[in-house]
Structure formats: C-alpha cells, structure tokens
Chain A
Amino acid sequence: MIWRFVVRRVLIAILQLVGISLVVFFLIRLLPADPVARLVGFNATQVAYDQAEAALGLNKSVIQQLGDYLGIMSTAKYDGIAQGYLGDSWVTGSPISEEIGRFLPVTLELITYSLLIAFLIAVPVGITSAMRPDGVGAKITFFWGLFAGSQPEFWWGLMFVFFFFTWWWEQFGFFLAPAPLGRINPMLIEPAVITGFILVDSILSLNFEAFVDAAWHLMLPVFTLVFIVSGPIIKMIRQNMVRVLRSDFILYARSCGLPSRSVSLYALRAAMAPAMTLIGIFYGFLLGGAVPIEVIFALGGLGEYSIRSILSFDYPAIQGTVLIIAMVSLLVYLTIDILHAFLDPRITF
C-alpha cells in the first residue's frame, strides 16, 4: 500500500521536475540579458563573440537548445538531463553537478541542524506554554514569536555577530564565537569530503580537532536560524496542543483515570502531525531562503551559489540549481507525508 503510494508520488514528482525544468529553461531565455557579452566582455571583436556564442550553443534555435539541455534529440556533443548530466558551468567550466555537490551539503547541513534543534526546543516549550497558558513560558514564547519574526534574518545575523564576536571580545577578551569567515578555521586541515556534511565527515575521518572547530563555526549561523524559525513552530505546536487538550478524547482519557504522563503522550501524539508539516515547508523554503545567513557567515552554500549563477547569467547553473532544490523539496515533502501516515492511521493512500 505504502509502496504504491511512494511509487505514485515519485512518478508525479518526475513529471513535476520535467515541468519545472521546462519553465525555468524558457523563463531564463526571456531575460533581457546577453550572457555572451557578459563572458567575452563588451569590447570583444565580432569573431570572438561569435566563437563564444557557438561554444555556449546559443547560436542554435531555442528548440535545439532545449534538445541539448534535455538530452533528447540532442545536437550537442555533451550529455543532457536524460543522460543524468546537468551540463557544465559557463563561468568555471566544471560540471554543474560537481559544483552543486560541493555547495548543497553546506546548506543542507545548516538547515537540517537548525530545524532539528528548533524542533527539539519547540516541542517542550510549546507543550508547557499550552499546559500553563498563564505561565512564564507562555509569555516568553509570545514575545519571542513577536520579536524574532518582526526583524529580517540578516539583521539578527549581523546583531549576533556583533554581540557574540566583536562586543564579547572587547568586553571579555576572548572569542565566544569565531569570526564569520567560513565553516572551519583555515589553519586547520579540512576533513576529506565524504558526505559533504562537515561535522559528519570530520567524525568519519576521526579528525576531532576539525569537528570541534566546525561545530564552533556552525554555532552562530545555526543559532540565528533557530532563533528565527522556532517562533512559528512553537506557536504551531502550542495552538495544536491547546486544541487537543480541549478535545473530547483528552477529557475522556482523564475521566478514565489515565496517569497524567499517558494523557500528555496522548495529546502530544495528536498535536505532532501538523507541526511536522510546518517543518517540511520551512525546509523547502530555507533551501533557497537561507542566503542571507550563508552570506553573512561566508559559508558558501547553495543559496550563495544560485545568486552568483544568476548574476553571471550562468544558464546551466541556474537550471541545475532550481532542479536540485525542487528535487530536495519534493523528497522532504514525501518523507513528511510518509511519517505522517505512520503517525496517523486515518491517512490512507
């Protein structure tokens, strides 16, 4: 049953991806931009310009370009998507998949840790503030949600850098947080790339010095993201919890004399599912939306990569990035749906 659902969803996802690649392909080409001039410079000769245009394949008709890109009825020497190849970057010349493979794990690592920690904080805080609506926890939550959500994330990022790095050092003479310059101290040997997740890689390669330093570098960006996304997640869990606590089945469970621990578990189980959906939505959003954080802390993530590609009219890179982000989002949604189904027997496929 569940497998039929997964297969169906994957098939639909493939259709969606095809649709997305087509839309992106045509939309880019509608831009009033000249990537060739960008590449060879405005003062290049006509011959050099033509050569460059031919090298990029931009002298062909749009339909032919689409064929080259998709790898179907291709007239180019290189492979297309159908062969599993995203093309080469026009700027660096290296394969897009290789570049994304380098940038994507950085973003995934940042948002996975952030959402995981946000979730771990939000569950107990949301529950306590629902159970004691007049308690201190509920009030703090309220102001937190209001405060954190009312400022843009880059501003919070800058504030944290200023406070924990600059101000702290001036005040106390040591660094609470490292300088916002990348994922690891450049003086250290970076762990070999295995998964791309630097914390995981440093453990796998038994480089504990790198592990500690990488964790230290990740501290502030993760903290900033957690600070911002926790508000809405707490609010979601709190509201669900309040609703569930007033429900018939909780009142009934209490009237049956179930221990309060069991009653809380009953409530938590029912309140959890919608919160997970929110996590999924955040995940998809942050794949491209964590750019300000990535830039401030110079992490070199996918968001940064996509901005760079857009600004340099690197068509294959833009297409590849969009496709990959869409793929990861669809995968996350699918995972959430499957988890949902395991939690809630009312969902059938």
Chain B
Amino acid sequence: MAIDEMTAPAGDTGSARPIMKVENLSVVFPRPDASDITAVHDFSLSVTEGEFIGIMGEPGCGKSTAAMAMLGLVRPPGRIATGTVEFLGQDLGKLDEEELRAIRGKDIGMIVQNPRHSLHPMIRVGTQISNVYRAHNDVSKQEAWEHSIEMLRMVGINDPERRVKAYAHELSSGMAQRVLIAIALSSQPKLLIADEPTSGLDVTIQAQFLDEMWDNVQKTRSSVVLVTQDLGIVANYCDRVVIMHQGTIVEVAEVHDFFNSPQHEYSKAILGLQRRAQEKGVAIAKVDEKAPPLLRIEDLTMHFPIRASKSKVHAAEQVSFEIKPGECLGLVGESGSGKTTVGRCLLRLEEPTSGSINFHDVDLASVSREEFRKNRANMQIVFQDPLDSLNPRWTIKQVLEEPLKLHSDMDQEQRLDRIRELLKLVGLEESFVQALPKEISAGRQQRVSIARAIASNPDFIVLDEPTSALTPETTAEIIELLIDLSNKLGIAYLFISHDLTTVKFICHRVVVMYLGQIVEIGTKDQVFETPRHPYAKALLSAHLFPDVANRRVDREVRESLQGEIPSPITENLPKGCYLFGRCPSQVEKCRNMPQELTELEDGRLVRCWRVQEGELTD
C-alpha cells in the first residue's frame, strides 16, 4: 500500500505503515426548509503507526465532526455524504454494522470532550466500563467488573473499589476524563482518537494525561489523532498538525514547519500573537519603578461560610501586593487558587473578610458603600464571558452610554462623541452602535466590554480571564489591544488568567497563587525563566507554551505534581505547607511548618522555607 507522499511524516524510519487512511470524507447536516450544511468537506488524512497527529481549528470548524466521522459516526440528523475510511487495509464503508461495531472501541479507541456528559448519567461507571469491555471480549460479568477496577487503578484513580460504583455526576471532571481514558485503553486500541480530551482540566492534570498518552504511543507503537484548539498542546506533543477552517483542511504540516513557516493565511492568523511577538516584540511600556504604588493591598483575606457547617472556604489568605501606575500585574494559578476572588474583592463585588485595599490613598475595604462608589469610576473590571457580561437587550450604544451617565455630567451630544471615540479606541467601527451584543462576534463583544471599562477614564482595570472564552486568533488581537490601551492611556491592569502564554506577553510582574495563598511574586523574567517555588516550577513546566524549540516531550525531566488541587475548605487545608503531599521537593519538616512569604536577594518573594534557606536551587 502506497503511503501518501504529502502526508507522510518527515524523517520517519521507513518501517512505519499506515493505520488509517481517510479520503474525501464529507459530512452534511440537513436543515428543514433550507439547504444542507456541509460540516466537513473533502477531509483526507492518513495516519501512520506511532504517529501523534493534531487537528486544529476554531469552534464549529468541523474538527470534532470529522473525528467522529472517521469512526463512521455522526450525531443525528447528520450523515456521511461521501468518502472512504480505510483502517488496516479494510474499507470501513463496506463493513456491516456488526463488523464496524467490533472495530469501534477495540481497535479504534475514542476519548471525547465533555466527559461527564459522555457517560450515561444513570448507570454506574463500573458497569459502563464493563459493558464496553464485554462488547469486545468474551468474559463473564464478574471478570469484566474486576477488570474495570483494575483499569481505574491503572489510570490513577484513588480508591477504585469505591469509584467503580459511582455515577457520572459524583465524579469531578478530571476523574470522569480518567474513566473515559480507562474505557478507551481497556482493549488496547491501535488508534486513539481524542477530541479535546483535556478541555476544562487544570494545566498540571492536563500535563499528566498527555504525558501518559505520549508514553503509551511510544511504548505500544499505537497512533493518536488529537482534536484541539490549543496551540500549546499541538506544539508540545504532535508530530504533524492538520488545520481546519470552515469544514475544510487548509494545511497539513510537520509541527516544526507549521510553527516556523505556516503556509495558509488562516494558519498565520492562528499563530498571530506568536508571530508578531517574534517578529517585532510586543511593545509594553516601561513602568516607573520609583513612582508610589497606585494600588496596595495588604493581608486581604476572604472566607466564604458553608451552609450548615462550621468549616469555611478559604478563598484568599493574607494576600498582599502592589501595582504601580501603568503596570500590568499577572495573577496566575489553577482553578480554585483564589485568583478570581482576589479580583472581585478589589472592586468589592465580594466583601473581603479582612485586610486593606489602598487605592489613591483611600482604604477601599473599610469606606462606606457610598464613599466607595465615588472611586468606582477609577477602577473597572472586564469579565471572562463577553456575551454574559453585556445586557442582551441593550444596543452597544446603550451599553457604552451607561457608565457615561453614571460617572460624568456630559450632555447627550458629548456622550455620543465619547462613544464614537471609545469605539475607535477599541478598534470597532461606528456602525456597531445600533447592534445588539448577540449580533456581533465574541471578539467584538469583548472589545465592547473593554470600551465600557475605559469609558470613565479609569487608571486601573481588573481583567478576569478576558481571553479564556476566545479562539487563539481573537486572543492575540485582544492582547494587542490591551497593550495598546495601556501604552496610550497609562492604565494599570490586574490580569487574572490561567493561560500563562498570554500572561507572558502582557505582564510586567507575576503573582502565582495556590490554594488562596501567594506562593511567589517576581518580575515576568524571574517567574517565567527561573521560577523558584516548587509549585511555580511545576505550573510553568506543565504549561504548554506554543514553542516547538522546547517541547515538553523532548525534555529529560518533566516536572509534575502528584494528584489534584484540594478544595480549599477548612478541614482539607494542610497544617504546614499547603503544597505538602503534592510537592516533589517536600521533606518531613514541611508537614507541620506553616510557610511565610519572604523576600529573596533578587527582590522576589517566595513562600517556601527550603528555597529561603538555599536548599533548593535550579
């Protein structure tokens, strides 16, 4: 069988044989009273043994549909219109339903996104694993049940004897994802198709999974087709990348070639921020180090009571930091680290339990609501979900007019002028004033949110994951806009994000949080180049930067943390260091010794006694 010249992996040893060959696959969805929608058009791909392929594209580009269609499956009422799929020399289109079924789940494993919805809500996970195993292996119920426990143990689920009896809703999404992996691997498939298998997982857990998958491919010479939106995953794990745009493949390239010299316009757009940063360097203005701080928070603590319980959620514990005028401070950490809570406390969207917030020499935490409101014009917030944070019934004009009415005494004519000016500042055309939020794209919605935030001329904005709901190309545009605005208007940002890639581009200094505590504060270079706290190290190492020159799979040591972040309720919190139990550098003394945030000689702050004593070096 001839290997497709164009799609053969570069530099392969020659022993590789194709596992799957897809040709001209098209999927259509019929619409009542309208022409059919072609979700996937002329999709061709060949997968060789031991290969790790990434399929990338924006949401709705047909990548997930294409992945399912490779198994001959389409979500109703869609159907496969044309195309052939050859698997190990067999034409899947010519097999009957029973023969196809025997291949699915046995020779081709599938991991889908949204793991909790992909498990049956009313059947125990053990039964579901058993059912799949029994569908492909001639074993008794009892044997299959024992096999499920074994599989759960293998994918790293604690206490598998108990979890095997759980239902999907009783699992965290991390655990549900592991269950899907257990199902997919239980019959040792030759090809694994994984559709955004790590969406919604924290970076440290994402790295654990992808590492396991990568090791598995290397060990068993199986292949992986990974559908993703994340440039970082592609850069760090894939051998080849397939770029889809509006249902069509626009580029297939070896991964280094793709990042170094993308061919198609759309590929260039996806790599936007990356490329622009490389070409001219994104220009962030210098901060005047000697200026007095604009904002200084001290010992900010936020505890949420739990109903009918004595314990509390420790969302933030004694958080202290400063922001200078015009500075962008990054606040990073996994979900549950308390970063969003800190942002909300600054604007008193949550009333902090204790601590002070000094802004323009006023302690915002203790002033009355009335007094606080006067300061609100100076500090604004932009939220994660652009559509949810705009009133769906208001036109863009109404959205932007509201802060002007509240915080200024402009007349109608002046307000209109200001709205035009704002739209121009955020790069939107004037014609959008009459549009409703849902009529414009997510990127433009986020621009409107930003315009609303700068309407009252604030000198400080909290950006709470402003790019997390956006596609890679839109993210790049929004980051550039934020940098522009800061340079032009001198606004300081608190940039809250779990996406270290964007933080790296926009921020001057970075705060790393874990379980409500700050574990490290330093300049961008200090934290990104030489992180000192073990958690910061692991977080940086687990984060997948879209950098093919330093792939995670090429590293000698892949730093990672054990287990998952505990939920920060009173009885879960460790007595000593909060990272105890997950830390790769822990010693017995850490168990009962609470850690202090202390300054090192290079000016950064770290909460780890071993680093402070000089016991941990790079």
Contacts and interface: CB of A to CB of B under 8 A. Distances in A.
A257 B75 CA distance: 15
Given A249-B120, A255-B112, 17 more contacts: A133-B77, A246-B75, A246-B76, A249-B118, A249-B121, A251-B112, A251-B118, A252-B112, A252-B119, A255-B104, A255-B105, A256-B135, A256-B183, A257-B101, A257-B132, A258-B101, A343-B122
A170 interface: no
A83 interface: no
Contacts of A345: 121-122, 167, 169
A335 interface: no
9 contacts: A248-B112, A248-B118, A251-B68, A251-B75, A254-B73, A256-B132, A257-B136, A258-B105, A259-B135
B182 to A, nearest CB: 11
B121 A255 contact: no
A259 B121 contact: no
A51 B122 CA distance: 65
- Most chain-B CB neighbours within 10 Å: which of A245, A246, A248, A257? A257
Interface stretch (A155-163, A179-187, A262-270): A262-270
Contacts of A332: none
A133 B76 CA distance: 11
A264 B101 CA distance: 14
Contact of A257 (B103, B118, B123): B103
Nearest to B78: A246
A255 B101 contact: no
B366 interface: no
A251 B73 contact: yes
Contacts of A256: 104-105, 110, 132, 135, 183
> Which label, helix, strand, loop or mixed, suits the secondary structure of the A interface?
helix
A346 B167 contact: yes
A248 B131 contact: no
A166 to B, nearest CB: 44
A205 interface: no
Contacts, number: 80
How many of chain A's residues touch chain B, expressed as a range? 20 to 34
Interface in B177-196: 180, 183
A249 B119 contact: yes
Contacts of B509: none
Interface of B: 68, 71, 73, 75-77, 97, 101-106, 110, 112, 114, 117-123, 131-132, 135-136, 167, 169, 180, 183
Interface of A: 133, 242, 245-249, 251-260, 262, 266, 269-270, 343-346
> Most chain-B Cβ atoms within 10 A of its Cβ — which of A242, A252, A262?
A252
Contacts of B123: 266, 269
Nearest to B121: A346
Given A247-B117, A262-B131, A270-B122, A255 B73 contact: yes
Contacts of B104: 254-257
A255 B68 contact: yes
Contacts of B167: 345-346
A258 B135 contact: yes
A259 B101 contact: yes
A347 to B, nearest CB: 10
A127 B216 CA distance: 41
Please name the 7 residue pairs, one residue from A and one from B, whose CB atoms are nearest each other, closest first.
A257-B105, A257-B104, A256-B105, A252-B118, A255-B110, A248-B117, A256-B132
Given A253-B120, A255-B73, A270-B121, A260 B97 contact: yes
Nearest to B109: A256
Contact of A260 (B75, B101, B121, B169): B101
A100 B110 CA distance: 61
A285 to B, nearest CB: 28
Given A255-B71, A259-B135, A248 B106 contact: no
A60 to B, nearest CB: 49
Nearest to B128: A253
Contacts of A344: 121-122
Contacts of B106: 257
B76 A245 contact: yes
A346 B166 CA distance: 11
